[in-house]
Structure 1
Amino acid sequence: LFLSTTDAKTESQVLERLKSAQVSNATVKALLRERIKTHTGPVGLQNNLQIKHNGKDHPYSLYIPETTKPNEKIPLLIVLHGLGSSGANTLPVWVKRLNNEFAVLCPNYPMGAWWARPAEDMVLHLIEQLKEQYNLDNDRVFLAGLSNGAIGAYMIGMFNPDRFAGLLPIAGSITPRYMHFLVNLRNTPIYMVQGAHDPFFPVQLSRRVHKILYDMKYPVTYREHGEKGQAHGGHFLPQSEVPDMVEWIRKQKRRHNPQVVRMTREGNHMGAIHWARLVEGKNLALLELPGPESPNPIKKDGKIATLFATRKSPNHFEVMGQHVIEYDLFFNTETVDFEKPITVTTQRIQVQGNKLAPGEKKISYKNKVTQDLSVLLYGYKKFRDPTRLYDGRVSILLESTLVHRDSSEERANKKPVFSSRSQSVPYQTQPLL
């Protein structure tokens, strides 16, 4: 009932009944992980499908391998088309490249403007919808795109890196303004293909992206080819690049509970990445590239918040941040011992001359954390991902704010500088993740 309802009151009532019955997190996690899921949707090539999002119908094309067994998990590759193309044109090419081994999803979006927030939301919504019809392998979901689609692969992937096992931007790049967000790809492998003679996307942009990722020691593969196509110069994916790329895809699998989580955030993207979430930042920018649908409010002169979180040892976490007011850390039995206190330290990243340097390290939290069914069930309901289950959280408030986000007395009476609290916030008024 909790997973199927959209009513907050019903959710709260179900949680209260579960807690009254003393149902443990371990019991619920076992049930979620043992749920046998079978495929209910058709297989083979499917065109002219539609998803309704924001009141509009968006077409998409889909391939599900005909040899798929009823309970078999299927890896999924999402491919974003470029300007002038479509999902229907894109799908058969990629099905053949992957030797009919993967499910392939090719959505449509006007002008291939995948960088727009409505397009991002639509793609994520479509993935979740397909999970209801097919037993998709959550640890082998990939996002690729060519040309404008490559921009989308970067943008959607950078802002939601823990959703994907890998990113494949082909014949496209991002501008320096958005290269700040490459920091988010700490645990998400990326395979870049760029033509040296691409007349639409200067190769210098892709080289710069590669250098940034390489210098940070991130999992990046960069392939630069010198071929020239008849129609678009070097703006395409040569057949000679396909075998190595497909072999790379086959080897990738999403990481669980990474030791280090790094993120840069602007105000339109404040979701969790793995087990850390930046809840509120200081005077954050609101970035939105224009697209065919109305954008969210834009604020280009704001700040970009940074949060680096490291699990130094079991039950010991160190966090560094800049322009951060509040952040959350999420824990499960795979990463901490709930019978022992958890220590969280925080350092502000400060500007010293022309360099950034960590400030004084302070203890932000040192106490036990109680496992909470609210954290577990709201988190699962958000992503429907049995490999992404958290039992408890700690919220760290670094400074006071006049922003009022919910009705709880604890949030309404915030104390300045490094006050912290456990997960006692009423979750029905503040949905998780």
Structure 2
Amino acid sequence: MKHYALTITVLLNLIFLSHLQGQTNELYDKGIITSGFDSLPYRFTKPKNYDPALKYPLIIFLHGSGERGADNELQLKHGASFFASDSIRDKYPAIVVFPQCDTNNSWHNGTYAFTSGKGQYSFPKEIKENISLNLVEILIREFQMQFNIDSDRMYLGGLSMGAMGTYEMVNRNPNKFAAAFAICGGANPEIAERLQFTGCWIFHGEADDVVPVEWSEHMYEAIKKKSGDVKISIYPNVKHDSWTNAFNEPELMEWLFSNHKN
């Protein structure tokens, strides 16, 4: 009898969580942009009581590799409920956009190789062509034309593959974003030269068995060496899902909104 009661409780919890996720997703409108033969689905939410006469910050969030696709749903798996919560929307009104990377593409240009018994990424220093990031840049321009975006308060963030893309996006656009946050990502430390002009908060789980914590530590040290405005949070005993910790940081949004380009 206890077994059945436990099973029912688990099922009810799953149904409840699914219902909450559905409510969150409803707050995000759907869109898609195209450029030639390429397309980028995206979801976005506007501030409560949106007033087109007012300027608003723009937040772009890049998802991880597991949320790639074309369903325009999966990219809301992590982070969407955070930005859609009443406490965040009331205090930090912004236009928040979740683009979705195609399954066959990536937010970054790192190459993966399996050597010496383990996998390893190699990240380029030079800026290379990237279809997905090209589309994100087009998407940003579209939002700037469609909405009253405060160009001094454009922010970028991402997790895992999306954090790698966050570094790469700032490298491509060193003067565009006021601040960026990278959760369990990595990049070539040599690009710190172009990242030093953007406020950066780096997050990582110390026990991450997917993306080594050293990658974030190396980026932190490289940006700091260039006198960039950078901070890092390493979570003991946390594996790859350090985004849970990052989104629970009470100062995350206050820090983000404190950054302005001018």
- The structural deviation recorded for 1:110 is 1.9
Cα deviations across residues 14-67 of structure 1 (Å, max 9, x unaligned)?
A: xxxxxxxxxxxxxxxxxxxxxxxxxxxxxx833431111232332100001122
Q: In structure 2, which of residues 170, 173, 177 is the aligned counterpart of residue 164 of structure 1? A: 177
Aligned partners of 1:61 and 1:107 also within 8 Å: yes
Matched, 1:89 2:87: no
**1:246-325 equivalences in 2 (<5 Å):** 246-255=253-262
Partner in structure 1 of residue 107 of structure 2: 114
Partner of 1:138: 151
Distance 2:64 2:244 in 1: 16
Note if contact 1:199-1:235 (Cα within 8 Å) is conserved in structure 2. Answer: no
> SS of the counterpart of 2:64?
coil
Cα distance, 1:227 vs structure 2: 4.2
Does 1 or 2 have the higher relative contact order (CA < 8 Å, sep 6+)? 2
Residue 226 of structure 1, CA deviation = 1.4
Deviations 1:60-103, CA, capped at 9 Å, x for gaps: 00001122223100111100000122333343333328711221
CA contact (8 A) 2:40 2:132 kept: no
Aligned to 2:41: 59
Equivalent residue runs for 1:356-375 within 5 Å: none
Contact preservation (8 Å) 2:46, 2:95:
yes
Task: Name the structure where helix makes up a greater proportion of residues.
Answer: 2
For the 8 Å contact 2:200–2:229, the answer to whether it is kept is yes
For 1:65 and 1:227, locate their aligned partners in 2 and report how far apart those are by CA, in whole Å: 36
Match of 2:249 among 242, 251, 254: 242
Is 1:73 the counterpart of 2:62? The answer is no
1:205 CA drift (Å): 1.3
1:68 touches 1:74 (CA, 8 Å); kept in 2? Answer: no
Cα distance 1:54–1:182, how it changes in 2: closer, same or farther (>3 A)? Answer: farther
Match of 1:102 in 2: 94
Asked if 1:46 corresponds to 2:59, the answer is: no
**CA spacing shift, 1:71–1:92, aligned 2, 3 Å:** same
Structure 1 residue 179, shift from structure 2 partner: 2.1
Secondary structure at the aligned position of 1:70 is classed as coil
State the partner residue of 2:122.
none
TM-score, length of structure 1 as denominator length: 0.45
Distance in 2 between the 1:213 and 1:57 partners?
33
Distance (Å, rounded) in 2 between the aligned partners of 1:92 and 1:226: 25
1:187 aligns to what SS in structure 2? coil
Cα drift, residue 245 of structure 1: 1.4
d(CA) in 1 for partners of 2:131, 2:152: 25
Matched residues in 2 for 1:204 and 1:50: separation? Answer: 36
Unmatched runs of 5 consecutive residues or more in structure 2: 1-25, 68-73, 110-129
- 8 Å contact from structure 1 (residues 142, 166) kept in 2: yes
Q: CA deviation at 1:146?
A: 0.4
Q: CA RMSD in A?
A: 2.0
Distance of 1:218 and 1:239 partners within structure 2: 24
Partner SS state of residue 54, structure 2: coil
Q: Are the counterparts in 2 of residues 97 and 246 from structure 1 also a CA contact under 8 Å?
A: no
Q: Distance in 1 between matches of 2:75 and 2:145?
A: 21
Q: What is the 5 A alignment of 1:162-241?
A: 162-174=175-187, 178-228=188-238, 233-239=239-245, 241=248
Name structure 1 gaps, 5 residues minimum.
Answer: 1-43, 256-433
Check the 8 A contact 1:95/1:102 in 2, yes or no.
no
d(CA) in 2 for partners of 1:190, 1:104: 18
